[in-house]
């Protein structure tokens, strides 16, 4: 299993954009989550003494990923935290239809003296937003409002 992301420099001039991919929906979520985290802060400068369990349901994978990433931005703002690491397990919700995601975010309260802060992500946008399954890879294109 592998996941990756690439920042897209020529997509949005006033925002940040990335394309994430993975061998599975779970790997896609990990890559996209990592891209959002790394847009906000260098995660190597953040400890893992704050922890939050996350669980979301959605009618489709695109909606689920959008809500998942939006929750990360919300948690940063509501709790004043930045993140070190995340886990994500994404499964089809067969009895009810749709998808489920469960995972954990770790990080700590923002400390400008210790953390290498990057951009203040305000929101995940629908601009050019796309989630698809290409051959054997799951791919998402995301633009963040900064």
To the question of domain 3-145 being in CATH 3.55.10.10, the answer is: yes
Q: What pTM did the predictor assign?
A: 0.90
Length of the chain: 146
Give the whole-angstrom CA distance, residue 141 versus residue 19: 4
Contact indicator for 43, 80 with CB cutoff of 8 Å: no
Residue-level pLDDT at 11: 63
Helix extents (H) in the chain: 25-40, 61-79
Residue 54 pairs with which residues in a beta bridge? 103
| Res 13: pLDDT | 59
> Starting from the edge strand earliest in sequence, which strands make up the sheet with 99-109, in order?
50-58, 99-109, 81-92
pLDDT tens, residue by residue, 108-122? 999 999 999 999 999
Residue the block writes with tokens 């946008």: 125
pLDDT digits (tens, 9 = 90+) for 3-57: 887 787 766 555 889 999 999 999 999 999 999 999 999 999 999 999 999 999 9
């Amino acid at each position: 299993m592998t996941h990756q992301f690439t920042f897209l420099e020529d997509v949005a001039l006033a925002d940040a954009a990335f394309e994430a991919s993975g061998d599975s929906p779970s790997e896609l979520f990990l890559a996209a989550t990592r891209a959002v985290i790394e847009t906000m802060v260098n995660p190597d400068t953040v400890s893992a003494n704050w922890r939050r369990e996350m669980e979301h349901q959605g009618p489709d994978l695109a909606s689920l990923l959008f809500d998942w990433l939006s929750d990360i931005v919300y948690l940063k703002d509501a709790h004043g935290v930045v993140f070190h690491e995340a886990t994500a397990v994404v499964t089809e919700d067969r009895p009810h239809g749709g998808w489920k995601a469960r995972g954990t975010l770790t990080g700590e309260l923002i400390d400008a003296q210790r953390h290498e802060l990057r951009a203040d992500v305000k929101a995940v946008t629908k601009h050019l937003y796309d989630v698809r399954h290409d051959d054997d890879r799951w791919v998402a294109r995301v633009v963040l409002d900064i």
